[in-house]
Structure 1
Amino acid sequence: MVLPAEQVAFNEAGGRVLAEDVYSDVNMPPFNKSAMDGYACRKEDLGQWLEMLEIIPAGKPPKFEIKPGQCSKIMTGAAVPAGADVVFMVEQSEVNAGKQVRFTGAKTNSNICLLGEDVKTGDLVLKTGTVLKAQHMAMLASVGCVSPSVYRKPSVGIISTGSELVEPNVFPQASQIRNSNGHQMRMQAASCHCAVNYYGIVPDDEDLTRDAIKKSVDENDLTLISGGVSVGDFDYVPAIIEQLGFEILFNKIAVKPGKHTTFAFNGNKYIIGLPGNPVSSFIQFEIFAKPFLRQLMGYSAPEVNLPLPLATDYQRRKADREEFIPVKINDQNEVETIRYHGSAHIHAYHEAFGFMVIPEGTSSIPKGTTVYVRPL
């Protein structure tokens, strides 16, 4: 499913996904334009003393047509006068008494950007599914698309479950830990240009958990829940999801970390339940929740996986699941693994460039082998 489209103001379009093709309403350049500061003349007159007619600044039309034996001084970006087919640089010129100019170089390019050589009126300049970055905003501005049609932002509700959790401003007491998952997921969802609603910590209480999930699904397209999705005595989330009318498509996946990941839907409402360990929730957001959100937004670009050589031998004890390992890139563009203690060790990711993917069934990878790294 892709969310409906809406028109937004130009200044609010950054990071959004285009819901329509965009065509140019002008030629680019819109006139023959000088590529540098110099003198506009006829090619056959290069090397001769030329009468200078005028100085042409950018933004002002030329007053005179160039005829044999004539030139005009011209600034970068200014319109080239009729009759001229070359602009030679100021650095390759000699001026005689301020009235005559001669080209002194051995050769020169035309140094003229021709009308419509970049884009012609009616050309397709941006396609549906494009995420609007700085370079795309420049193109929208160039073609006067000031109210682009984009897909609606998904609204995402964030819930952290667990009686052991306290917020970051609280010093944890015995058996307590600070809630890193909720704020990690909040930032991850915000970086996808979603509208994020944070519902805080819900203790391990079935009624409170149900109330929090119901509130989130009523108010959001997607609800992200960390914790409570495994098989412990206080893992209420899967049962509550079904009580609320959602169909669970899966609640386990053969990956590490993040085995206990749940996906459910009810019409156009979705729930992704992530494990409580911070690395598990972080990675499962990257490999599952983020692509799903991008699908809702009509995002068409594929995920990037970089093929790079491994710097040292790598070994693991179990190969029963696909695994994701934090890595950095050294000065030789080789992949180095980062010391990593498992799914609770979120500190391992603070200096990670990305994570490499180890396929199921692979227990060892020799140095120099090409591995695939997904950047973060």
Structure 2
Amino acid sequence: MARKFEKPMIPFEQAFKIVLSRARPLDTETVALHESLHRILAEDVQSDVDMPPFNKSAMDGYACRRADLQQELTVLETIQAGTPPSCAIGPGKCAKIMTGAMLPEGADCVFMIEYAETPREGTVRFTGGKTADNICFRGEDTRAGDIVLRAGARLGPQHIAVLAGTGYARPRVHRRARVGIIATGDELVEPSERPAPGQIRSSNGPQLFAQALRADALPTYYGIARDTEEAIDTSLKRALAENDVVILSGGVSKGDFDFVPGIMQQNGIEILFDAIAMKPGKPTTFGVSATKYCFGLPGNPVATFIQFEALVKPFLYKLMGHDFLEMQPVLPLATRLDPGRAERATWLPVRIGADGRVRPVEYHGSAHIHALCGADGIIVVPAGSGVLEEGSLVRVRPLR
């Protein structure tokens, strides 16, 4: 028989600190540059060259001495990008130059081709009143030896461009977290099946799989475990053996068939908390062993969704070496909001209007996953807050 126990309910902020404090970065590997999108950089990156590596033209035009701008200039050559200049620029001389091409010695400005006229063959005159230098100077972006990217960066296309420019063809990144997902419940059938009376299709499994994938992890779905200690134990043992993190949905409350926390204990998982003072999402369990991490999330899909986004996703990124931060705009309510004086913080789905104001969406409770499809974010109403008047400022956690 799985052990029954109960820990005190804790605030979300305390649960968040506990979860992140237990994350230990995963080991590292090198990957090809074209496979590094959204991977987490495991080491600082230094530039091996000045950028730009030489003085170069910022546009198509003519490279000359600024002192000669008001006179007719002899064109010595045309310099294209990738070809070094062959002539120095002396008094009364210039070179036609393309964007990105190396600036010839002696030139200190480039005037745009749009402000050039040709009085006769082989010469050019500047027709503008004045011009900027239009030069990208050597090392103005970075110098050789500068750290251009820090460990912990989540690599986007712009980071990959920097890696390419500094010669990091195989960046060192943290391994992606392997996440096992188990849905529990006798009432569940897979999405491909027609539910019998008293049954529903399992939405948490596909939802959690998609959320883990979006969090740059490697999820594996282990199907539905029936509400027996044997079934849950079998699925959990397999998932723990094959993954860094296991997420179970359902079976974590105080009912007769809620076996998940006890089964976690029987498999060497130390339970750190099993209730959070938030609505939805109170029956949430988190535990650890020496090398594994285990989340028991509620069975209702909105609660499961919110707890993954609020707790599990930042934890997964921490495992992969990244401090997950998201912009949470503070915006005014468009209408009066009365969530009641709940003893727990209330998390509610909202939309952000074109006017930048926040409106609650129709929401029937923690089973109403459809409400999230029309929401832009979640707001948190602290416990005991009571009525929030129109215009009250709320912090919005984005969903998209």
Q: Deviations over 1:10-41 (max 9, x none)?
A: 22221111111110001111111111111110
Which of 322, 336, 342 pairs up with 2:359?
336
Residue in 2 that maps onto 1:208: 231
For 1:314, what is the secondary structure of its paired residue? coil
Which of 194, 207, 219 pairs up with 2:242?
219
**1:89-100 paired onto structure 2 within 5 Å:** 89-100=112-123
1:168 aligns with 2:183: no
Which structure has more strand as a fraction of its residues?
Answer: 1
Following the alignment from structure 1 to structure 2, what is the Cα–Cα distance between the partners of residues 288 and 318? 24
**1:226-375 paired onto structure 2 within 5 Å:** 226-375=249-398
Following the alignment from structure 2 to structure 1, what is the Cα–Cα distance between the partners of residues 274 and 96? 72
1:71 aligns with 2:98: no
Following the alignment from structure 2 to structure 1, what is the Cα–Cα distance between the partners of residues 212 and 124? 62
Moved more, 164-173 or 334-343: 164-173
Post-superposition shift, 1:194? 0.8
Equivalent position amino acid for 2:209 in 1: R
Following the alignment from structure 1 to structure 2, what is the Cα–Cα distance between the partners of residues 77 and 323? 56
Residue in 1 that maps onto 2:60: 37
Post-superposition shift, 1:306? 1.5
Following the alignment from structure 1 to structure 2, what is the Cα–Cα distance between the partners of residues 268 and 123? 36
Following the alignment from structure 1 to structure 2, what is the Cα–Cα distance between the partners of residues 55 and 349? 60
Q: Deviations over 1:257-285 (max 9, x none)?
A: 10000001111201100000000000000
Following the alignment from structure 2 to structure 1, what is the Cα–Cα distance between the partners of residues 64 and 359? 58
Structural RMSD (CA): 1.1
Q: Deviations over 1:282-313 (max 9, x none)?
A: 00001111111111111124343211111111
| Structure 2, unpaired ranges of 5+ | 1-23
Residue in 2 that maps onto 1:87: 110
Following the alignment from structure 2 to structure 1, what is the Cα–Cα distance between the partners of residues 60 and 314? 48
Residue in 2 that maps onto 1:146: 169
| Structure 1, unpaired ranges of 5+ | none
Following the alignment from structure 1 to structure 2, what is the Cα–Cα distance between the partners of residues 12 and 169? 33
Tell whether the 8 Å contact from 2:339 to 2:346 is kept in structure 1 after alignment: no
Tell whether the 8 Å contact from 2:317 to 2:324 is kept in structure 1 after alignment: no
Following the alignment from structure 1 to structure 2, what is the Cα–Cα distance between the partners of residues 345 and 318? 22
Following the alignment from structure 2 to structure 1, what is the Cα–Cα distance between the partners of residues 230 and 236? 10
Following the alignment from structure 1 to structure 2, what is the Cα–Cα distance between the partners of residues 23 and 370? 43
Following the alignment from structure 2 to structure 1, what is the Cα–Cα distance between the partners of residues 375 and 175? 32
User: Once superposed, which parts of structure 1, at least 4 consecutive aligned residues long, lie more than 3 Å away?
Assistant: none
Residue in 2 that maps onto 1:20: 43
Following the alignment from structure 1 to structure 2, what is the Cα–Cα distance between the partners of residues 303 and 245? 34
Residue in 1 that maps onto 2:133: 110
Following the alignment from structure 2 to structure 1, what is the Cα–Cα distance between the partners of residues 381 and 287? 27
Residue in 1 that maps onto 2:8: none
For 2:118, what is the secondary structure of its paired residue? strand
Following the alignment from structure 2 to structure 1, what is the Cα–Cα distance between the partners of residues 327 and 246? 26
Residue in 1 that maps onto 2:17: none
Q: Percent identity?
A: 53
For 1:212, what is the secondary structure of its paired residue? helix
Which of 10, 34, 38 pairs up with 1:11?
34
Following the alignment from structure 1 to structure 2, what is the Cα–Cα distance between the partners of residues 261 and 297? 23
